[in-house]
Structure 1
Amino acid sequence: MGTGRSTGEFAEFAVSRHRALFRYAYLLVGERGLAEDLVQEALTKTYVGWHRLRDSANAEAYTRKAITSTAIGWYRRKSWHGERPRDDVPELPSRGKDDDVTARLWLWQELSQLPPRQRATLVLRYYEDLTEVETARILGCSVGTVKSQTAHALKKLRARLGPDAELTIELVVAQ
């Protein structure tokens, strides 16, 4: 690394962005302990590459990409298909209707069953509200791949959720 200033800048980045990075990791894997492990591993990789990163936007993208690629690698190595440990779904604020909360929980359960890359694409696009270009940069793929992964994921959700899928997806995305 080199200078104490660089180490201080990294520490400031890690502390200020930890919550957002953890939320992203949690949405990818659905389990708090595993999400924390993902964030720690990604921050370690970011620290090692800190001297190459020019600003916090690059550091954020680099860290999110590390979270995504590490999660996908873990899923491939563990062959996590079917049941796997996870925490309860985090509480979602109600907009005054029990139906809204039920719809969000239902969609969360369906989202957690998507393949990791499709889930990452939806989380980045709709939960993190990133553009297709920003999502592609984080995932290390083309904008076309982001579009196709998003389309495939939404198609799977619509097929599982049935005729109310559009309303349910809109409720969650609008939140």
Structure 2
Amino acid sequence: MLLHDASVEFHDFFERHYAELARLAHLLTGETDTADDLAADALVALWQRWDRLRDADHPLAYARGVVTNMARERIRGAVRERRRIALFWSRAPERAEGPDVAAVVDVRTALARLPFRKRSCVVLRHAFDLSEKDTAAALGISVGTVKSQTSKGMAELERILGARAAGDLVTGRRSR
């Protein structure tokens, strides 16, 4: 009977939070298919620990942390693979002169240019409207680090997108 109750509880958790976790993964990685995979993998990991997590104070915060860590590992793996390919072909990366116009216009591209921790803080604080405390819990960092990384991340987005576009991002007004 207990296994059935746990299964029902987890199914309810899955139904309520899968889309949000996939959206978080998408904003962190910029890849739709990868985001779906990461959300599913994170939920499998949660199911394996559900007996302990179901009584936790904030299982969603833990789930966000799992997605964030998996996204970080996915990005690191992709970077390592690109480096191996570049070394194999012995070709120096091409240098672009001037700002990348597409990156200035596209918020996702601009987010991808942020270092992972800043991106995570900006996404959780502004796209998911989490408090500093909830963001800190999801990322396993201090509230002070969340404040600092969010501020620095937003400053970088302002530099990339322009102050008006970055302000629109925070207030939820996206102009096209």
Cα offsets for 1:105-157 (capped at 9, x unmatched): 53332112212221111110001011111100000010111112112212222
> Does the 8 A contact of 2:29 with 2:75 survive in 1?
no
- After superposition, residues 129-148 of structure 1 pair within 5 angstroms as 129-148=129-148
| Fraction of identical pairs, as percent | 35
Q: 2:149 aligns to what? A: 149
Q: What SS class does the counterpart of residue 114 from structure 2 fall into? A: coil
Cα offsets for 1:146-173 (capped at 9, x unmatched): 1121122122222323xxx221112122
Alpha-carbon separation, structure 1, partners of 2:22 and 2:112: 16
Unaligned runs of 5+ in 2: 83-101
Among residues 160, 169, 174, which one is paired with 2:166 in the alignment? 169
- After superposition, residues 20-31 of structure 1 pair within 5 angstroms as 20-31=20-31
Q: How many residues align?
A: 152
Flag the structure with larger Rg: 2
> Does the 8 A contact of 2:30 with 2:108 survive in 1?
no
> Does the 8 A contact of 2:158 with 2:165 survive in 1?
no
Q: What SS class does the counterpart of residue 113 from structure 2 fall into? A: coil
Alpha-carbon separation, structure 2, partners of 1:78 and 1:106: 21
Cα offsets for 1:17-39 (capped at 9, x unmatched): 11111111111111111001110
Cα offsets for 1:71-104 (capped at 9, x unmatched): 112222332699xxxxxxxxxxxxxxxxxxx9x9
Q: 2:94 aligns to what? A: none
Give me the TM-score of the superposition, normalised by structure 1.
Answer: 0.77
